[in-house]
Structure 1
Amino acid sequence: MAFLFNRGRSRSPAEIVRSSKELLSRIHESPNTPKVEEELAKQLSQMKVIVQGTQEVNTSPDQVHALVQAAIHEDLLYDLSQSIHLLPFEARKDTQTIFSHILRFRPTSYANDKDPPVISYLVHHRPEIIVELCRGYSHGQSAMPCGVILREALKFDVITAIVLYDQSGPGEPAVRLSELKPSLVQKGDGVFWNFFDWVDKSNFEVSADAFTTFREILTRHKSLVTAYLATNFDLFFGRFNGTLVQSDSYVTKRQSIKLLGEILLDRANYNVMMAYVESGENLKLCMKLLRDDRKMVQYEGFHVFKVFVANPNKSVAVQRILINNRDRLLRFLPKFLEDRTDDDQFTDEKSFLVRQIELLPKEPVERARPTRESQSGINPTAMA
Structure 2
Amino acid sequence: MYSLNLFNRGRTRTNTIDLPKQARENVLKLDNPAAKAEELSKVLNQMKLILQGTHGMCAPRLPSTTRGYELTRRTPFLGAKDSESNPDQVFHLIEGIINEDLLHPLAANLHKLPFESRKDAQFIFSSVFRFRPASASTKSDPVALGWVVNQRPQVLLELCRGYDHKESATAAGSVLREVLKHEGACKVILYDDGDQPGSSVNGVQAIDRDRPQSGTGVFWKFFDWIDRGSFEVSADAFTTFREILTKQKEVVPHYLRVNFDLFCSKYNTVLVQSSSYVTKRQSIKLLGEILLDRSNYSVMTEYVASGEHLKICMNLLRDDRKMVQYEGFHVFKVFVANPNKSIPVQRILIMNKDKLLNFLSHFLEDRTDDEQFIDEREFLIKQIRNMPASPVPPQGSPAVRPPDAKPNLRYDVRQGERREARGRDESLDEHMHLLLSSLDDDNG
User: Does the alignment reach a TM-score above 0.5?
Assistant: yes
Distance in 1 separating the partners of 2:16 and 2:28: 19
Q: Taking structure 2 as the reference length, what is the TM-score of the superposition?
A: 0.81
Match of 1:27 in 2: 30
Distance in 2 separating the partners of 1:364 and 1:251: 37
Match of 2:285 in 1: 258
The SS at the match of 1:360 is coil
> Does residue 1:220 correspond to 2:222, yes or no?
no
> Does residue 1:115 correspond to 2:118, yes or no?
no
> Does residue 1:381 correspond to 2:381, yes or no?
no
The SS at the match of 2:389 is coil
Match of 2:388 in 1: 361
Gaps of 5+ in 1: 1-9
Match of 1:137 in 2: 163
The SS at the match of 2:279 is helix
Q: What is the identity, as a one-letter code, of the residue corresponding to 1:115?
A: D
Distance in 1 separating the partners of 2:34 and 2:119: 18
Q: What is the identity, as a one-letter code, of the residue corresponding to 1:48?
A: K
Offset, 1:11: 7.6
> Does residue 1:280 correspond to 2:284, yes or no?
no
The answer on whether the counterparts of 2:54 and 2:84 sit within 8 Å (CA) in structure 1 is yes
Write the mapping of 1:172-187 to structure 2, written as runs, cut at 5 A.
174-187=201-214
1:289 counterpart (301, 306, 316): 316
Match of 1:3 in 2: none
Q: What is the identity, as a one-letter code, of the residue corresponding to 2:19?
A: I
Write the mapping of 1:97-116 to structure 2, written as runs, cut at 5 A.
97-116=123-142
The one-character-per-residue Cα deviations of 1:246-288 (angstroms, maximum 9, x if unpaired) are 0000000000000000000001101100000000000000000
Distance in 1 separating the partners of 2:400 and 2:137: 38
Distance in 1 separating the partners of 2:44 and 2:344: 59
Offset, 1:52: 1.4
1:337 counterpart (359, 364, 368): 364
Match of 1:7 in 2: none
Offset, 1:110: 1.4
The answer on whether the counterparts of 1:147 and 1:210 sit within 8 Å (CA) in structure 2 is yes
Q: What is the identity, as a one-letter code, of the residue corresponding to 1:177?
A: V
The answer on whether the counterparts of 1:93 and 1:145 sit within 8 Å (CA) in structure 2 is yes
The SS at the match of 2:85 is coil
Distance in 2 separating the partners of 1:110 and 1:144: 31
The answer on whether the counterparts of 1:219 and 1:263 sit within 8 Å (CA) in structure 2 is yes
Match of 1:13 in 2: 16
Distance in 2 separating the partners of 1:258 and 1:369: 28
Q: Taking structure 1 as the reference length, what is the TM-score of the superposition?
A: 0.94
Q: What is the identity, as a one-letter code, of the residue corresponding to 1:202?
A: G
Offset, 1:51: 1.2
When you count strand as a share of all residues, which structure comes out higher?
2
The answer on whether the counterparts of 2:192 and 2:200 sit within 8 Å (CA) in structure 1 is no
The answer on whether the counterparts of 1:143 and 1:209 sit within 8 Å (CA) in structure 2 is yes
2:325 counterpart (265, 277, 298): 298
Offset, 1:54: 2.9
The one-character-per-residue Cα deviations of 1:151-179 (angstroms, maximum 9, x if unpaired) are 1111101110010001117xx99231111
The answer on whether the counterparts of 1:77 and 1:129 sit within 8 Å (CA) in structure 2 is yes
Match of 2:192 in 1: 166
Q: What is the identity, as a one-letter code, of the residue corresponding to 1:381?
A: L
The share of aligned pairs that are identical, in percent, is 53
